[in-house]
Amino acid sequence: MVNWILGDLFTKDFGHHGSTKTLWETRWKFPCSLGVYPFHDSQKHLEDFEPAFQKLIEDKINGPYDDAWTHPFLPTATSLVSQADALASTDKPAAISLYKRANAVFRIARFPYVNGSPLKLDVYERQKKAYLKGAALWDVPLREEVIEHVHKAEGDGGEIPLYVRFPKAEEGKKTPVLLLITGLDGHRPDNSERTDEFLARGWATVICDIPGVADCPALKTDPTSPDRLFTSILDWIAAQPSLDASKVIAWGLSAGGYYAIRLAHTHASKLVGAVGHGAGTHHYIGAEWLAQIDKHEYPFSLKKPYLMKYGYDTWEDLLETCQKRFSLVETGILEMKSCRLLLVNGVLDGCMPVEDSMLLAEYGRPKEMRFVKGRAHMGYPEANSIVFPWLEEVMGE
């Protein structure tokens, strides 16, 4: 049994699971009123969300895993897109803002796991369409790039959809690259602010989804499929004449942090650094941790998303074999040589235990770590102020 740093919080029930009213009033609306936006900066527009949540509360819809959750958000999202379309040719700043607001509402409508519902898949397509309309209006646009999965194996899809945003090229100069690896519920359209930060530093952005989630073509049941996926992506980056393949950093967010850490070991020679941000590596899919996971800060039960992401039919099967098959400890990945690697999280993370980052100190080359006292999953709001100086340092070496 692990002596969890969470202490008594490990078994404490946060009280919002199974109650949309409690979730909205204590976990989402209240933080937004204080200027802390749990999922997306555009959620500062509380009026975009209030009607849907009131409808869910009235109808006693207390979970997101059927279509009744999704429907109340769609009128607002659709209206915002229509308003943005009408202004796109006459008032670009207003249209951009409206598209971002629609993107945020679509995100909550399809939250937290797209692949389990035809309706949520459709909503995700609508989200991407609205987002790319707005992103095309930016001074430096973001676009979708669908590349060939050159290294695919049986069971993998043949194409990898990426979002890319490149600074305006300076003649004779190649651009460093941030490979942003998304999470379980945050996908390619959910990272505008990070791409702005990268652009301000003169870096290109390449964004990809993780296996078992959204549009990722990697076979989710194969623990080695991400290695093939990232070989194809890194080969594509190296083939772009404007990109500097000798200056690539991978930044994995939440569930994506696992893949950034894995990539730091399996593709160490292809990266100058990697960030595992709010990352799981071993304990997060162990039976002891998962027995308490639905009590913690995540808004909903993680059982259904985990079953679908990893391709299991029953929770019992997942508890028995998932850690053995996917743990970076059990599979020996952490025994490999790594590139420079930063681990960042909140000390009180109840989604991905901080122990999963700390255990990397026991393997291979020395790691860099910064954990935020008193903060939960991802270590917000302080986390980005830790990551960006580190990125600048590594890119400048």
pLDDT digits (tens, 9 = 90+) for 323-360: 999 999 999 999 999 999 999 999 999 999 999 999 99
State mean pLDDT over 67-91. Answer: 96
Angle between helices 92-110 and 118-135 (to 10 degrees): 160
In a 13 Å sphere around the CA of 215, the CA atoms on its Cβ side amount to 21
pTM of the model: 0.94
Q: Do 284 and 262 touch, CB atoms closer than 8 A?
A: no
Residue 20 lies in a domain: yes
CA distances from 144 to 20, 313, 336 (A): 34, 33, 33
Could you tell me if residue 278 is inside a domain? Answer: yes
Whether 9 is covered by a domain: the verdict is no
Under the banding of pLDDT at 50, 70 and 90, the label for residue 115 is confident
CB 72 within 8 A of CB 121: no
Model confidence at 18, in pLDDT bands (50, 70, 90)? confident
Residue 164: CB atoms within 10 A of its CB come to: 20
Distance CA 274, CA 364 (A): 15
Query: Within this chain, do residues 31 and 166 fall inside the same structural domain, yes or no?
Result: no
Identify whether residues 146 and 206 lie together within a single domain: yes
Query: Which of 137, 162, 193 is a domain's end point?
Result: 137
Q: Residue 66's pLDDT band (boundaries 50, 70, 90)?
A: confident
Question: Do 74 and 165 reside in the same domain of the chain?
Answer: no
Question: Could you list the active site residues?
Answer: 254, 349, 377
User: Given the DSSP bridges, would you call strands 159-165 and 143-148 parallel, antiparallel or unpaired?
Assistant: antiparallel
Query: Per-residue confidence at 38, pLDDT binned at 50, 70, 90?
Result: low
Whole-angstrom Cα distance, residue 130 to residue 396? 36
- Comparing CA positions, the residue from 298, 293, 261 lying closest to residue 377 is 298
Instruction: Mark whether 159 and 120 lie in a shared domain.
Output: no
C-alpha to C-alpha distance for 13 and 311, rounded to whole angstroms: 27
The answer to whether residue 6 is domain-embedded is no
Range of the domain at 54: 16-137
